[in-house]
Amino acid sequence: MATIPPKIKVQVSGKERLQKLKEAFHETYGQMPVFYACAPGRVNLIEHIDFVGYAVLPMAIEQNILAAVSVSDSKTIQLANTDPKYKNFTVSVDGISIDRENPQWHYYFLCGVRGIQEHLSLSSLAGMCCVVDGTIPASSGLSSSSALVCCAGLVTMEANQKSLSKVTLAETCAKCERYIGTEGGGMDQSISFLAEEGTAKLIEFNPLRATDVRLPDGAVFVIANCCVEMNKAASSHFNMRVVECRIATKMLAKVRGLDWSRLLKLGDVQKELQVSLEQMLELVEEALHPEPYSTDEICKTLGISAEQLCENILSANTHTYLKNTHSSVPGTCTARLHASCSLRPRATLPLPTPSLSWAT
């Protein structure tokens, strides 16, 4: 697998989607794009356990985010979308801010811009004109938002004439998507950059690495869309799973005599204790009771106040949720550990997946 994202020369004529995007760009800005960038969506074949530090098994899909781009000295970033429900947006390169209380499409794009700027310590960004086209159904669980962040990261890297490895891009985009308020673990961005045609990927973290996992010949996946949308950044549902596992991590660490204040993921506790996954599962079931935990019980176990819980452990959009309900800490983290036990490196598990590609 190439370590640097490839640049591929393509003929736009004869490729209907690229041709339409080129025409939309010219209609919007009165000029032609200089390059295109593309990042795919994904499906996850096992479980969402990346945010607790364990391996995941996703594959990329044909649906993707595609951007047409030109570079300018305007000191602005101008964004447009082929879907009219996503409004145009312009921002100064010196005034990039992300409103996590208002998760509009352009803020996801700006997450990628800001992430690359900060990683490369760029004091000044190139001005850009962009038109974005997406074929990933929005808020459908196929990582349209992460693909948009990844595409924006690619665009920013190329527009500023820099070069980063796929792994660095994946790690950077995973971190910067948190600017919008989602507490993901890095799976979505990793598969978007590390995907290869014909295989799923077993993705492991710390350090980030990807291993081909193949299915028997003839195996296919049918991916259906129920058409019920879920905007991760606009609700607490996604972050609540993350927070419940974070609480479980700290409670387990406290029971086992570890420095719980610095541990965030179950995988971190496992490394500290030097136990197997099966042993880790047993420890969780021993240390945490199966009934839901109240906020008071969590605070008592950790020896902290409710204010400290909110400030140091919860995310912004889970404060109210946890106050008004009981947290399913043991069930959430036990399910994640069971999923992790089923994920062992295998040489076999060809999948109909595209490779990530860029066109100039």
Point out the residues that are catalytic: 188
Peptide bond into 207 cis (omega under 30): yes
Q: Report d(CA 212, CA 207) in Å as an integer.
A: 16
Q: Which residue from 172, 333, 187, 189 is spatially nearest to 268, judged by alpha carbons? A: 333
Q: Report d(CA 92, CA 286) in Å as an integer.
A: 54
The two three-digit tokens of residue 41, written as one number? 């969506």
Q: Which residue from 40, 6, 36, 32 is spatially nearest to 134, judged by alpha carbons? A: 40
Residue 9: CB atoms within 10 Å:
6
- For 128, the 3-state DSSP assignment is strand
The two three-digit tokens of residue 96, written as one number? 């990039």
Residue 244: CB atoms within 10 Å:
23
Residue type at 276? S
Q: Which residue from 195, 154, 199 is spatially nearest to 176, judged by alpha carbons? A: 154
Q: Report d(CA 248, CA 265) in Å as an integer.
A: 9
Residue type at 283? L
DSSP 250: H
Q: Which residues face 70 on adjacent strands? A: 129
Q: Which residues face 259 on adjacent strands? A: none
The two three-digit tokens of residue 298, written as one number? 């969590």
Q: Which residues face 76 on adjacent strands? A: 92
